[in-house]
């Protein structure tokens, strides 16, 4: 077999393995030793402001927004009342009810979340997975979100959510949170 053909065949056989390796997901436990430690209920108790945008799969920013969040804690339940204001002057509201199931496991519901969101914390990170009913041009699309939050310090947390449908990346939401002191 000729050397060039052997190299091409080897590259062809390795391509699926490299693709699968690129699809491996990060686990929250990877952040177990990161500081400061995220206490979701403590961080969101009170008033938090957020600034963000949605970018489509090409990276183009499609919509910018701000969010005013009021969090209240009652026992093992955190309620987040979120008021969104978008760059096109539209507004929306979402109210999350988040339950602490164990020290590092959370479940959450909201009117536009299909089923239950599942969250896990470790170190400074939280990973949420859920299905969102997203209105687009008069239709509603159920999209999957892989949502990661990273506590930077007592006041600032960063968030990146990857949105997919049928495993195809539609875009991402980037947010910066600032806890009012």
In a structure prediction context, what are the per-residue pLDDT tens digits for the chain, which is 181 residues long?
555 555 554 555 544 544 444 445 789 999 999 999 999 999 999 999 999 999 999 999 999 999 999 999 999 999 999 999 999 999 999 999 999 999 999 999 999 999 999 999 999 999 999 999 999 889 999 999 999 999 999 999 999 999 999 999 999 999 999 999 8
Q: What are the beta bridge partners of residue 82?
A: 69, 94
Domain ranges of the chain: 34-179
User: Residue 3: what pLDDT?
Assistant: 55
Burial of 160 (0-12, 13-18, 19+ CB in 10 A): middle
pTM of the predicted protein model = 0.84
Which residues have a Cβ under 8 Å from the Cβ of 151 and sit 6 or more positions away? 36, 37, 38, 43, 124, 125, 157
User: Residue 7: what pLDDT?
Assistant: 58
Round the CA-based radius of gyration of the chain to a whole number and report it. 19
User: Residue 84: what pLDDT?
Assistant: 98
Check if CATH label 2.40.128.20 holds for domain 34-179.
Answer: yes
* Token pair listed for 5: 């053909």
């Amino acid at each position: 077999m000729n050397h060039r053909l052997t190299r091409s065949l080897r590259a062809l056989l390795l391509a699926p393995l490299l693709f699968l390796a690129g699809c491996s997901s990060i686990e929250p436990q990877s952040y177990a030793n990161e500081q400061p430690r995220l206490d979701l209920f403590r961080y969101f108790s009170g008033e938090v402001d957020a600034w963000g945008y949605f970018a489509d799969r090409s990276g183009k920013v499609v919509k910018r927004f701000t969010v005013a969040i009021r969090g209240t804690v009652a026992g093992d339940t955190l309620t987040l009342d979120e008021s969104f204001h978008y760059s096109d002057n539209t507004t929306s509201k979402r109210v999350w009810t988040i339950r602490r199931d164990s020290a590092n496991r959370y479940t959450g519901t909201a009117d536009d979340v299909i089923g239950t969101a599942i969250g896990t914390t470790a170190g400074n990170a939280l990973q949420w997975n859920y299905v969102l009913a997203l209105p687009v041009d008069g239709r509603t699309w159920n999209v999957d979100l892989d949502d990661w939050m990273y506590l930077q310090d007592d006041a600032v947390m960063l968030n990146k959510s990857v949105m997919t449908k049928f495993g195809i990346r539609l875009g991402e939401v980037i947010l910066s949170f600032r806890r009012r002191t």
